[in-house]
């Protein structure tokens, strides 16, 4: 009986959800980070061009 | 990932930037890596399919060591030369390193559940890795909470140099202390017959892929920092004109 239990828990197919979870989490974190960096880069560039316009219109003292 | 912004103009011709080239190479290498992991790598007779996590878990863990080694060197260089470029390099590498060590912990936890029948155990490798994670999260916090950017850079450099002491401790933890964690498969303490030939080749390929991924992530983060600094300068100029 114990052999049967061990066999069923160690069958290659029995731990597939863990394999899926490990790869899914890896992709979500890696691409999530890259997405965050790219989005922030885009926002900052927009802010720079907005402020640059204001700066160009502000007379120097 | 390639965009018109990332193309460098030269004499009417457009050449993709180094970052774009790196992104394309990394993307292609990653797809091939996934093919090798799922279609070519043999299924482990004892551990089953979940053993394939190994081809991500081990290179990711080694990449975190590489990232913190870069932090160590760049921090030393910053303290000697006080050049902001070294600080930017250390900062980018530390942030990417934290991402990698977080992933190493999470993939390890997920792998441990079906193999060790527990999500977490306070054994030496896991504990020292968690300490490594805490050290570099502290590195990022020290930088954020410092009164000025230059002081933050100095404090962070000190943490980056001292914190690196934990990296060899993490590596040697499975050698120095009896542990449930497997022995090293790469480095000076790895046994020559610890891996099947195909598995070793796929692991090596995964390493190379993640080195490219690491370089790409660091470049992205350094570019963001350059933009943050440009924004800081323009805000400063605006404040001065407003006074």
User: Which of A21, A37, A47 is facing B221, going by the closest CB pair?
Assistant: A37
Structure tokens at B46: 């004892």
Q: Is the separation of the CB atoms in A19 and A12 below 8 Å?
A: no
**Nearest to B34, CA basis, from A19, A29, A13, A36:** A19
User: What sign has the CA pseudo-torsion B26, B27, B32, B35?
Assistant: positive
Evaluate whether ipTM surpasses 0.90: no
The conformation of residue B43, written as its DSSP 8-state character, comes to P
Q: Choose the mutation target among A7, A10, A14, A15 for the interface with B, i.e. most B CBs under 10 Å.
A: A15
Contact list, B60 vs chain A (CB under 8 Å): 26
Return d(Cα B40, Cα B33) in angstroms, integer: 10
Count CB pairs under 8 A between chains A and B.
97
pLDDT tens per residue, range B182-217:
877 776 667 766 778 888 899 999 999 999 999 999
Q: Please determine, for residue B134, whether its predicted confidence score (pLDDT) is greater than 70.
A: yes
Q: Please determine, for residue B63, whether its predicted confidence score (pLDDT) is greater than 70.
A: yes
- DSSP string across B177-232: S--SSPPPSSSTT--TTSS-HHHHHHHHHHHHHHHHHHHHHHHHHHHHHHHHHHHH
Binary contact (A22, B53; C-beta < 8 A)? yes
Beta bridge partners, B9, equal B14
Q: Which of B 30-89 lie inside 8 A of A, CB atoms?
A: 43-44, 46-50, 52-53, 56-57, 60
Summarize the confidence of residues B136-152 as an average pLDDT.
Answer: 93
Binary contact (B107, A25; C-beta < 8 A)? yes
Q: Could you tell me which CATH number the domain at B18-226 has?
A: 1.20.120
Q: Please determine, for residue A42, whether its predicted confidence score (pLDDT) is greater than 70.
A: yes
Output the pLDDT for position B3. Answer: 46
3-state secondary structure of B15: strand
Q: Please determine, for residue A2, whether its predicted confidence score (pLDDT) is greater than 70.
A: no
More confident residue, A61 or B174: B174
pLDDT tens per residue, range B10-31:
455 666 788 899 999 999 999 9
More confident residue, B3 or B155: B155
Q: Choose the mutation target among B1, B53, B54 for the interface with A, i.e. most A CBs under 10 Å.
A: B53
Find the Cα–Cα–Cα–Cα dihedral B119, B122, B124, B128, rounded to 10°: 90
More confident residue, B239 or B207: B207
Query: How many alpha carbons fall within 13 Å on the CB side of residue B208?
Result: 10
Output the pLDDT for position A4. Answer: 53
Q: Please determine, for residue B38, whether its predicted confidence score (pLDDT) is greater than 80.
A: yes
Structure tokens at B83: 């050049």
Summarize the confidence of residues B94-109 as an average pLDDT.
Answer: 96
Lowest mean pLDDT among A19-23, B63-67, B73-77, B182-186: B182-186
Q: Does B213 touch chain A (CB under 8 A)?
A: yes
Q: Measured between CA atoms, how close is A59 to chain B, in angstroms? A: 8
Cβ contacts of B165 within 8 Å, gap of 6 or more: none
- DSSP string across B88-117: HHHHHHHHHHHHHHHHHHHHHHHHHHHHHS
């Amino acid at each position: 009986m114990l052999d049967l239990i061990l066999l069923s828990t160690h069958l290659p197919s029995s731990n597939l959800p863990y394999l899926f979870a490990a790869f899914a989490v890896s992709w979500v974190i890696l691409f999530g980070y890259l997405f965050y960096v790219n989005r922030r880069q885009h926002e900052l560039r927009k802010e720079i061009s907005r402020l640059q316009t204001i700066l160009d219109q502000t007379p120097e003292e | 990932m390639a965009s018109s912004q990332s193309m460098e103009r030269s004499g009417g011709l457009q050449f993709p930037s180094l970052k774009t080239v790196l992104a394309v190479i990394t993307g292609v290498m990653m797809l091939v890596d996934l093919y090798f992991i799922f279609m070519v790598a043999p299924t482990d007779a004892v551990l089953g399919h979940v053993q394939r996590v190994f081809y991500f878990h081990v290179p990711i863990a080694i990449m975190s060591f590489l990232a913190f080694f870069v932090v160590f060197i760049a921090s030393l260089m910053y303290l000697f030369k006080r050049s902001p470029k070294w600080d930017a390099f250390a900062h980018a590498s530390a942030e990417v390193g934290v991402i990698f060590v977080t992933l190493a912990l999470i993939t390890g936890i997920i792998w441990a559940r079906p193999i060790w029948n527990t999500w977490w155990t306070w054994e030496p490798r896991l504990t020292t890795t968690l300490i490594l994670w805490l050290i570099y999260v502290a590195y990022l916090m020290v930088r954020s909470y410092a009164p000025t950017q230059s002081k933050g850079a100095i404090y962070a450099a000190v943490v980056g140099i001292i914190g690196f002491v934990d990296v060899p401790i993490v590596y040697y933890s499975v050698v120095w202390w009896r542990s449930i964690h497997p022995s090293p498969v790469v480095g000076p303490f790895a046994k020559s017959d610890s891996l099947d030939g195909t598995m070793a080749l796929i692991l090596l390929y995964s390493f190379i892929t993640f080195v490219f991924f690491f370089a790409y992530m660091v470049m992205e983060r350094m570019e963001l920092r350059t933009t943050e600094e440009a924004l800081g300068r323009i805000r400063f100029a605006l404040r001065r004109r407003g006074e």
